[in-house]
Amino acid sequence: MESAVIESYEKQRKAFLSILLTGFSFLILSCCLRIIPSLNDAISGRPQYMRWIGDRVARSITTRYGNDAAVIVTKDEKTDCQQITDVNVPDPDDFYYVVSYSETTHSVCFITYATLPKGWGQANSFVLYPSTGSNYGKKLNAPVRVVSVAQFQIVYPMAYLSLLHWRAKIDSSSFKRAANAQFERWFHSTAEPGDSLDVEIDFPSLRADVGRRHRSVNEVLMAVMLASVLLISFGAYRAWASYRQFSVFLARYHCPVDFGTYIRQDLSAIANRAREAYQDEQKRAREQARAAIIAKRSKEAIRGRLESILITLPNEEARVRTRECLAGDNVEDMKALIQEFEGQAGQRSPEEKLTALLDSLKQYCGDDELDGFCSRAFQILAASDFRDARAFVVHTHDQLRARLKELAEQKTIQAG
């Protein structure tokens, strides 16, 4: 029963330590990912400058044309904008605007397409599907074959793009360097309205868009840190509560245990040491109690013998000494005085011999039994002589030993 209780506490301890370890691990990891710039930037990913510039260009065009034309944004790292062939389409019915961007070349290509007229050859034509890129304008209900009528490309210098990074230091000098940087532009058109290229991008909002993923990552890291703190708090609270319960359990052995020991060591080992220490303490207490019983009975016998000698003393001085010795109640003084009166100096008294014999009974009986045997032995000594008292003790010793042997045999049979 006790082992099952200890095992339950041990499982709780390991579970709560696992919770604490998990919480601290996530807290340390999330703090490192949040605080160390190189790690924080690594998990945030490379800034997608051109994606967000392309997004802003498309939104600006959509604001101008509404749902009158499709405005599509797509990533294209392969096509060279300047290699696209224009086709002169007279009086085109519909225009389709495609903004393609390249993170590698830091460029945005704004292409204006027109519907391929019926009967024309499909050379230099291109099919726009409803699933092509992200459409901010008029939705495509079916694939449309188109041809390019105009292209406009702009290549952004890193002096400008670097200002969009979330860690960039924004001041007048950095804006001055960006203003002095060269923007490469290229334009070719056969039927493009001139005002369609007039696009303005708000720098602060563009910079906020570029850092959007970075902010999201940091918000997740902050949430993980908060969850880790809550997990650590929960694990610490439950571990402390389990420790208090285990301390109450160990109180039966009078063995306090500190929280550090509870955390570091196996609870079965702690309980075993506490139990063994308690059992040793109880054993010493029983031995001391039994020794006190024997000493008490021996002292009573010696005092009774000295009192009987006092009655027979003819000398008043000897009687005074005897009364003083009895008043002092010192066993050694009383024994010495008895030996002096009986001329037995240097020899052990019968009471001492009987006390030594009674000491051999301690291991075979309890305190109450031992007290009864001592009382009976000293009564026999007082009424008869040492020989009869010794015979009683030896007989009692043999009986107790036989009883102990019989109990051991019964336990062996039951265990088998």
Among residues 227, 252, 277, which one ends one of the domains? Answer: 252
Residue 229 placed within a domain: yes
Residue 74 placed within a domain: yes
Same domain for 55 and 40, yes or no, is no
Which amino acid appears at position 350 of this protein? P
Q: Which residues pair with 154 in a beta bridge?
A: 108, 185
Residue 35 placed within a domain: yes
pLDDT of residue 194: 45
Query: Whole-angstrom Cα distance, residue 312 to residue 117?
Result: 153
Residues in CB range of 41: below 8 A, 6 or more apart = 167, 214
Query: Whole-angstrom Cα distance, residue 150 to residue 96?
Result: 11
CB of 326 closer than 8 Å to CB of 307: yes
Query: Whole-angstrom Cα distance, residue 397 to residue 181?
Result: 112
How many of the other CB atoms lie within 10 Å of CB of 90? 8
Same domain for 34 and 169, yes or no, is no
Q: Where are the alpha helices (DSSP H) in 82-150?
A: none
Same domain for 191 and 248, yes or no, is no
Distances in whole angstroms, Cα of residue 74 to Cα of each of 98, 111, 169, 372 = 7, 11, 30, 105
Spell out, as residue ranges, where the chain has pLDDT lower than 50.
193-196, 344-346
Same domain for 222 and 283, yes or no, is no
Residue 369 placed within a domain: yes
* Number of domains composing the chain: 3
CB of 130 closer than 8 Å to CB of 140: yes
Same domain for 57 and 185, yes or no, is yes
Residue 141 placed within a domain: yes
Same domain for 383 and 340, yes or no, is yes
Same domain for 58 and 6, yes or no, is no
Half-sphere exposure of 188 (CA within 13 A, CB side): 11
pLDDT of residue 345: 42
Same domain for 362 and 317, yes or no, is yes
CB of 343 closer than 8 Å to CB of 379: no
Which phi and psi angles does 189 have, rounded to 5°?
-150, 145
Same domain for 178 and 226, yes or no, is no
105-123 burial, b if ≥16 CB within 10 A, otherwise e? bbbbbbbbbbbbeeeeeee
Same domain for 66 and 30, yes or no, is no
pLDDT of residue 348: 66
Q: Where are the alpha helices (DSSP H) in 45-122?
A: 49-65
Residue 257 placed within a domain: no
Residues composing the chain: 416
pLDDT of residue 240: 93
Which residues constitute the domain of residue 31? 2-44+218-252
Same domain for 298 and 240, yes or no, is no
Enclosing H/E stretch for 188: strand 184-189
Residue 132 placed within a domain: yes
CB of 197 closer than 8 Å to CB of 57: no
Same domain for 32 and 62, yes or no, is no
Residue 292 placed within a domain: yes
